[in-house]
Amino acid sequence: MVYPEKIDTLLEARWVIPVEPAGIVLRDHAVAIDRGTIRAIVPSVEAQEQFAPRERIVLGNHAVMPGLVNLHTHAAMSLMRGIADDLPLMEWLSNHIWPAETRHVDSGFVFDGTRLACAEMLRGGITCFNDMYFFPEASVRAAVASGMRASIGMIAIDFPTAYASDADDYLAKGLALRDDYNQHPLLSFCFAPHAPYTVSDRVFGSILTYAEQLDLPVHIHLHETEDEIRNSLKSHGVRPIDRLHKLGLLGPNLIAVHMVHLNSDEIGLMAQQGCTVANCPSSNLKLANGLAPVATLLSAGVNVGLGTDGAASNNRIDMFEEMRFTALLAKAQSGKADMLPAWQVLQMATLNGAQALGLGAVTGSLVAGKAADITAVDFSSLELAPCYDPLSHLVYVAGREHVSHVWVNGKLLLNDGELTTLDERELLLRAEFWRERMTTGPQNIE
């Protein structure tokens, strides 16, 4: 006699969208989860005979998909949401963001801001984020407290801040943090030089050496504005991509963020070198920087993932919005309605981002043996009716407000819309504390 296999959780749903194989929708299937790992995905009828779960969850009108992977954000900047809107990038940075960071950013700010961002991300179906900010040890504590999967950027920049005195100090602190948390199951690390205009050739050389030795991604803002390119030509005699190529930084470990202003040779070079682009359409639109040539990049064979950027420049950490914008803008740019179908956009928001972070074997798709990083979207609302194609609905109809459940590594972090690891009331109080402090100064806060 064959007895059912004991497992932790059996998750049954009307639709399971695994991302791998691409474009597949499994109707009335179940995801078997045990010890944080996907054990199997089988028809619900078979699952009830094959498994004996400690917990059975039936989501009768839901689509279950991999958790979304936010390939680029500055999580702590959620506390700067709306602080300086409707301004060009360099004016926004130079006159508002950088002065505010100088006055207010410390480990407490980063801890509170990152927890606030984690709550927003979890409620929007995001299970993994790639962060770039100061005081990354505080980002680590916040990510661990939330239960999210995170790639923590070891930031490097050529000017001093409250976090570090110089570029070497940034790197030393980042590497020490990685050593402390290198075995944590939900954390990974990448080098995060801010941008070509804030990092010297010498520092890029050090980062390249470390990245090759440790086999870690390099996460950088690149070709975001026309001013960046003009200044690079003036200072270095070449465009930023050419400069990084000469320094040896272009390769499969490079995650280039924004990549708005590109010529055909640069697109070919990115493809030839196996680089990844993190497309952040909402931020690019809001700062009027332009639009990344996503369709052309994909056609050339470049891996493209999606990011939200920070809430200070978006002002939402909303991957559903980024998916919809990416799909619609690609169609408008190309003049082809069949450009970037929904299945491909969902893949960009999940598996492509995971692969860029070196996590493709861990997350980004629902496959037996991978971590149970799962998002469930409730299709019961009238604005989602009727549904002919649930995969298309995820990109063109559903929003983050329809996310009902989120698991990371098999742990339920969002249960029927309620956070399980973070206290919403406390987060709101801390957000108000920082709003008052940044508005009136710390001397007026008890």
- For range 121-143, the mean pLDDT: 98
Query: Above 90 in pLDDT, residue 221?
Result: yes
Q: Indicate left, alpha or beta for 383 from its phi (over 0: left) and psi (-120 to 50: alpha).
A: alpha
Instruction: List, for residues 327-368, the tens digit of each pLDDT value.
Output: 999 999 999 999 999 999 999 999 999 999 999 999 999 999
Strands 303-306 vs 276-279: parallel, antiparallel or unpaired = parallel
Task: Tell me the C-alpha distance between 433 and 90, whole Å.
Answer: 28
Report angle CA 221, 216, 187 to the nearest 5 degrees: 95
pLDDT category, 441, cuts 50, 70, 90? low
Domains present along the chain, CATH in parentheses: 5-66+372-415 (2.30.40.10), 68-356 (3.20.20.140)
- Predicted pLDDT of residue 440: 81
Which residues are paired to 304 by β-bridges?
277
- Predicted pLDDT of residue 1: 59
- Predicted pLDDT of residue 443: 42
Which residues are paired to 376 by β-bridges?
64, 405
Task: Tell me the C-alpha distance between 372 and 416, whole Å.
Answer: 17
Instruction: List, for residues 288-299, the tens digit of each pLDDT value.
Output: 999 999 999 999
- Predicted pLDDT of residue 39: 98
Instruction: List, for residues 11-36, the tens digit of each pLDDT value.
Output: 999 999 999 999 999 999 999 999 99
- Predicted pLDDT of residue 446: 33
Strands 51-66 vs 68-73: parallel, antiparallel or unpaired = unpaired
pLDDT category, 90, cuts 50, 70, 90? confident
Whether the CB-CB separation of 352 and 127 falls below 8 Å is answered with no
Instruction: List, for residues 110-120, the tens digit of each pLDDT value.
Output: 999 999 999 99
- For range 69-74, the mean pLDDT: 98
Which of 72, 119, 147 lies closest to 409 in space, CA to CA?
147
Instruction: List, for residues 245-287, the tens digit of each pLDDT value.
Output: 999 999 999 999 999 999 999 999 999 999 999 999 999 999 9
- Predicted pLDDT of residue 107: 97
Query: Above 90 in pLDDT, residue 89?
Result: no
pLDDT category, 93, cuts 50, 70, 90? confident
- Predicted pLDDT of residue 444: 36
Whether the CB-CB separation of 114 and 134 falls below 8 Å is answered with no
Query: Above 90 in pLDDT, residue 161?
Result: yes
